[in-house]
């Protein structure tokens, strides 16, 4: 994912004095340089040295011997890289993917006690964000019994990306733990990371199979989020990390897990205008753009036009 966020990729490609850099920056930079080398045989690229450094720095939180949440790994990588390469409290990492939002918070108890709800004063905080977490609607408790895969796919709920983004448009309220909160995005970054929250438990034992429908090009994030001064800003999808499988089957295409049994996560990455590749561990193969919609999106990276 990081290798396809252009400003971060270019920074790692052109970084000088690698021997004087922290080991993670050095090894990650070498992996990125091998990936984007014009003449290097890609099958000889191994990320294992970089992975070993991640295992050490994360104190075993991420490793080859256990399954971990790729979104947690991505956020950890962004924050760790920022800390290692920042200058004057900023870095190419935060300048690329960090946005800003205002969070208005009311106490439910105060709102119930006051007859004029609009008079209840909110606590407003301005805070940065590295990703927008998208809450899927709850899975229906009851569905029509199905006799074949075609009927089973028809029972899977669907939701549009724009509907999930309404959480951050400044008008939608969310109630959690006795608090009512309202999120308003005030600054959109050059690259937006979206995290589709599919798993209800930390060990990923329960998965929400809801299909997220989205266009690939010219998504008007500025209009959808009502960002002041950015209503005409559009974004294109560059990375789509997916999770395949639920009790041995994919959420949409029903394919039995074979190559994905050990690692159920893979990524679609865009190269150029409309060339897409599927990356699964060390395997890379070209795919048709239509394949993007046949798996369960988990992490998406959008590039500003």
Taking only the tens place, the pLDDT of each residue in 165-192 is 999 998 888 888 878 889 999 999 999 9
34-72 residue pLDDT tens: 888 877 655 556 778 888 999 999 998 888 777 788 999
pLDDT score of 270 more than 90? yes
- Cβ burial 3-31 (10 Å sphere, 16+ → b, else e): bbbeebbebbeebeeeeebeebbbbbbbb
Give the H/E segment covering residue 300: strand 296-304
pLDDT score of 216 more than 90? yes
Give the H/E segment covering residue 149: helix 149-154
DSSP-derived 3-state class of residue 177: coil
Query: Residue 242's closest CA among 204, 280, 216?
Result: 280
pLDDT band for 162, please (50, 70, 90 cuts): very high
Query: Residue 302's closest CA among 187, 196, 192, 195?
Result: 192
The number of C-alpha atoms within 13 Å of 198 and in the hemisphere containing its C-beta is 29
Residue 247: its pLDDT value, please? 41
Query: Residue 262's closest CA among 245, 239, 287?
Result: 245
Q: Give the pLDDT mean for 217-239.
A: 87
d(CA 96, CA 126): 19
**Can you list the positions of beta strands (E) in 69-168?**
99-107, 123-129, 132-135, 158-160
Residue 260: its pLDDT value, please? 45
Phi, psi for 150 (deg, rounded to 5): -65, -45
DSSP-derived 3-state class of residue 227: coil
Residue 67: its pLDDT value, please? 78
């Amino acid at each position: 994912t990081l290798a396809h966020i252009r400003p971060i990729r270019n920074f790692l490609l052109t970084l000088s004095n690698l021997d004087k850099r922290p080991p993670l920056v050095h090894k990650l930079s070498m992996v990125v340089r091998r990936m984007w080398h014009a003449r290097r045989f890609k099958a000889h690229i191994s990320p294992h040295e970089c992975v070993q450094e991640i295992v050490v720095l994360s104190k075993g939180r991420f490793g080859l011997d256990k399954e971990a949440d790729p979104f947690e790994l991505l956020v950890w990588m962004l924050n760790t890289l920022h800390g290692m390469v920042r200058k004057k409290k900023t870095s190419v990492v935060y300048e690329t993917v960090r946005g800003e939002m205002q969070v208005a918070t009311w106490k439910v108890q105060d709102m119930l006690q006051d007859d004029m709800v609009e008079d209840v004063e909110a606590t407003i905080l301005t805070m940065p964000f590295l990703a927008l977490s998208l809450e899927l609607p709850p899975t229906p408790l009851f569905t029509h019994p199905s006799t074949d895969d075609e009927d089973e796919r028809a029972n899977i709920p669907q939701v549009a990306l724009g509907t999930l983004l309404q959480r951050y448009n400044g008008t939608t309220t969310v109630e959690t733990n006795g608090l009512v909160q309202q999120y308003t995005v005030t600054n959109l970054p050059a690259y937006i990371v979206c995290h589709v929250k599919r798993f209800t438990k930390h060990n990923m034992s329960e998965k929400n199979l809801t299909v997220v429908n989205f266009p690939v090009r010219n998504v008007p994030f500025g209009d959808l989020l009502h960002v002041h001064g950015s209503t005409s800003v559009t974004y294109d999808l560059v990375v789509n990390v997916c999770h395949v499988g639920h009790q041995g089957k994919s959420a949409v295409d029903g394919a039995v897990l074979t190559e994905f049994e050990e690692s159920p996560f893979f990524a679609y990455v865009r190269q150029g205008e409309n060339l897409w590749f599927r990356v699964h561990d060390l395997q890379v193969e070209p795919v048709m753009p239509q394949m993007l919609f046949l798996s369960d999106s988990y992490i998406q990276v959008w590039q500003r036009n």
